[in-house]
Amino acid sequence: MLSLDKKTFEEEVLKAQGLVLVDFWSQTCEPCKALMPSIEELSEKYQGKVKFTKLDVTKARRLAISQRVLGLPTIILYKDGEKAGEVTKDDATKANVEEMIEKAL
């Protein structure tokens, strides 16, 4: 998974063509850390179809809020730079993320 920061987010996500998944997380978010291995598994499964990225919001708080992310974990799928799907909190499960990807493919 590609690690993003506030400098690379625009280029890698908002200006990118195709599907880009962003895992919004932080070091202090334990549910995020528990979810991460499942997202990494999905990144292998959808290799070549979806670009998997993650953003540590600790250093990109304003950027996260600009994407209307105010809670973690949140997984957003972008298609050609536009939001194509989003799951957050209890709904941010491997099954739901996979369903969101399948819908967008």
Partner 1 sequence: MIYDTIIIGAGPAGLAAGLYAARAKMSTLILEKDKTGGQIVTTNEVANYPGSIEEATGPSLIARMVEQTEEFGAEKKKDNIVKVELKGDIKTVTGEKETYRGKTVIIATGASPRYLGVPGERELTGKGVSYCATCDADFFTDLQVYVIGGGDTAVEEAMYLAKFASKVTIVHRRDELRAAKSIREKAFAHEKLAFIWDSVVEEIKGDGIVETLVLKNRKSGETIEIEAPEEDGTFGIFPFVGYIPKGGLFDGMVEMDRGGYIMTDADMKTKIPGVFAAGDIRSKSLRQVVTAVSDGAIASVQAEKYIESQK
- 45 is a contact residue toward partner 1 (CB under 8 A): no
Q: Which of 13, 19, 35, 76 binds partner 1 (CB under 8 A)?
A: 35
Among this protein's residues, is 32 annotated catalytic? yes
What separation, in Å, do the N-terminal and C-terminal C-alpha atoms of the chain show? 19
CA distances from 29 to 6, 47, 97 (A): 19, 26, 18
Residue 96 sits in the site that holds partner 1 (CB under 8 A): no
63 binds partner 1 (CB under 8 A): no
Catalytic positions: 29, 32
By the criterion CB under 8 A, which residues form the site for partner 1? 26, 28-35, 57-58, 61, 64-65, 68-74, 88-90
